[in-house]
Structure 1
Amino acid sequence: MIPEERQEALEGHGLTEAQDGFVLSLWGFQAAMRTARALRGQGNEEAIRMMALDASDPLRWEYARAIQIEAFSIEIHRSRI
């Protein structure tokens, strides 16, 4: 994957890179919450707990960021195969 494709993939998941890690955009948070709702519907205990938190709770945002980082990582991995 060339750098431009990597950057496009980051943006596609609502992520930007900062000096200390990935930063989640509002769009990325919303996309992650759609994923979390689907996981909650499948009975995923972690998703159930996180979705019960207030949207402004930093832990909920961190969970959303982790979902998007995982999706980004999967996309990067698939592009190298």
Structure 2
Amino acid sequence: MGSDARQAALERHGLTESQDGFDMTLRGLQRGLGRARALRAQGDPEALRMRALDPSDPVRVRYALCIQIEAFHAELHRSGI
């Protein structure tokens, strides 16, 4: 995967990358929360706990970020990188 394809993947997952690691855009937060909702429907215990948190809880946002990073890395892996 070239740098343009990698950047496109970051954008699809709502992520940005800096020297300090990954950050999430509003789109990334929305997608992460959607993925958490799908995981909750499948009975995932972490997603159940996360979705029970207050929307203003920073742990909820951090969990959504982790979900998006995991999805990004899965896409990279599937692409052969």
TM value normalised by structure 2: 0.95
Deviations 1:27-79 (A, max 9, x none): 10111111111111111110000001122211111100000000000000111
1:80 aligned residue: 80
Matched-pair identity in % = 60
**Aligned partner letter, 2:4:** E
What's the counterpart of residue 10 of structure 1? Answer: 10
> Which residue is equivalent to 1:36?
36
Q: What is the letter of the counterpart of residue 47 of structure 1?
A: A
Report the Cα distance in structure 1 between the residues aligned to 2:78 and 2:40, rounded to whole angstroms.
26
Aligned CA-pair RMSD: 1.0
Q: Please list every run of 5 or more consecutive structure 2 residues that lacks an aligned counterpart in the other structure.
A: none
The number of residue pairs the alignment matches comes to 81
Gaps of 5+ in 1: none
> Stretches of 4+ moved more than 2 A in 1?
none
Matched, 1:26 2:22: no
SS of residue matched to 2:17: strand
